């Protein structure tokens, strides 16, 4: 079997389910259940790079931020620092869990977490149109109350979830820091956890200094940039469904097993995918295959290595 370089983006649900309180015990069990599914790739000798979402976690960090400021007069931290906070915590949990699984499987490998900065433009239109969901799902009354008290912006969640979530700016990623280091660790046989939560959003000012920005980058788009920059062969996005559907949860819902670039772009233009849900994932996959990647797959974690599942996205339809 030919060795491949594979980037796997773990969705927020891989760590924290929507109906859970978010205890560390719940998140560690979810992490274990998810990471067990990547072991076949490792046993086959492929190079694996992991990224992860942080939507629920960074939302909780922001709430703690506000509560501490109100009750104890502790200075609030900006959103880029909160993203860094979530990267460190989630990266530690992933690294610890994966090391335990590798031990169970009798596999010796280094696992390295890199707190990653991602370059964006400070003039990105996203700063005028908030789309990235973070934090918990609220009912309309609570969402309206928080919007009035804190100036937060809320948008409805997909019908399946119901309710409202806070949204923040989500600028497009253009570059990832420390790519040479990520490649060096991967080439030496290690597993890298990088670009967590999309990475910490930064830009270069007029003096070429690095400056943080108040935003949360879409982790799927950032992971696609990472995958392209390190010349990965395949890019996987793990979510809570085994396939992509058009007209999801509608009477005319249709499962998609294969998507060419042309058809994916056509469905995107027709608005067949949810703006804050599946559309960014499809766009991330299109970005990857348009920049030299062989194949992108969107699937559910337990179906990761089962080729009969997942929506496969390629430049042209596979033979």
164/160 Cα distance (integer angstroms): 12
CA–CA distances in Å: residue 317 to residues 2, 45, 263, 308, 312 = 21, 27, 10, 16, 9
Catalytic residue among 5, 11, 12, 91: 12
Let me know: does 197 contact 132? Beta carbons within 8 Å: no
HSE, side-chain direction, 13 A CA sphere, residue 267 = 27
Helix (H) or strand (E) holding 203: strand 200-204
Q: Which of 11, 13, 198, 272 is catalytic?
A: 13
Q: Is 12 a catalytic residue?
A: yes
Closest of 237, 283, 286 to residue 260, by C-alpha: 286
Q: What angle do CA 21, 157, 266 make, to 5 degrees?
A: 135
φ, ψ of residue 94 in degrees (nearest 5): -65, -45
Residues with Cβ within 8 Å of 82's Cβ and at least 6 positions away in sequence, in order, are 58, 61, 62, 65
Of the candidates 132, 257, 99, 116, the one whose C-alpha atom is nearest the C-alpha of residue 176 is 116
Q: Is 229 a catalytic residue?
A: no
Marked catalytic residue, from 30, 198, 219, 221: 219
Catalytic choice (197, 281, 287, 293):
281
The secondary structure of residue 309, as a DSSP letter, is S
Catalytic one among 5, 132, 221, 312? 132
Neighbours of 11 (CB within 10 A): 21
Which residues are annotated as catalytic? 12-13, 132, 219, 281
């Amino acid at each position: 079997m030919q060795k491949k370089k594979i980037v796997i983006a773990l969705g927020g649900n891989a760590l924290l389910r929507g109906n859970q309180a978010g205890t560390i015990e719940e998140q560690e069990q979810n992490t274990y259940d998810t990471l067990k599914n990547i072991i076949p790739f490792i046993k086959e000798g492929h190079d694996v790079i992991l990224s992860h979402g942080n939507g629920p976690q960074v939302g909780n960090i922001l709430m703690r931020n506000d509560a501490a400021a109100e009750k104890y007069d502790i200075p609030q931290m900006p959103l880029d620092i909160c993203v860094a906070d979530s990267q460190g915590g989630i990266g530690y949990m992933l690294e610890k869990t994966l090391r335990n699984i590798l031990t169970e499987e009798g596999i010796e490998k280094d696992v390295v977490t890199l707190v990653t900065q991602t370059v964006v433009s400070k003039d990105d239109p996203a700063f005028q149109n908030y789309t990235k969901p973070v934090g918990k799902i609220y009912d309309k009354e609570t969402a309206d109350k928080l919007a009035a008290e804190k100036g937060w912006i809320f948008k409805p969640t997909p019908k399946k979830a119901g309710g409202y979530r806070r949204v923040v700016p989500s600028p497009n990623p253009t570059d990832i820091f420390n790519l040479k280091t990520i490649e060096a660790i991967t080439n030496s046989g290690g597993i890298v956890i990088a670009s967590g939560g999309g990475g910490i959003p930064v830009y270069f000012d007029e003096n070429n200094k690095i400056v943080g920005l108040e935003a949360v980058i879409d982790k799927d788009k950032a992971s696609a940039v990472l995958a392209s920059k390190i010349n990965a062969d395949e890019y996987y996005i793990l979510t809570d469904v085994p396939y992509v559907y058009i007209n999801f949860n509608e009477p005319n819902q249709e499962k998609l097993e294969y998507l060419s670039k042309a058809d994916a772009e056509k469905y995107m233009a027709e608005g067949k995918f949810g703006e804050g849900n599946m559309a960014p994932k499809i766009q991330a996959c299109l970005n990857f295959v348009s920049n030299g990647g062989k194949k992108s797959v969107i699937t559910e974690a337990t179906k990761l290595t089962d080729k009969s599942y997942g929506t496969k996205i390629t430049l042209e339809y596979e033979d």
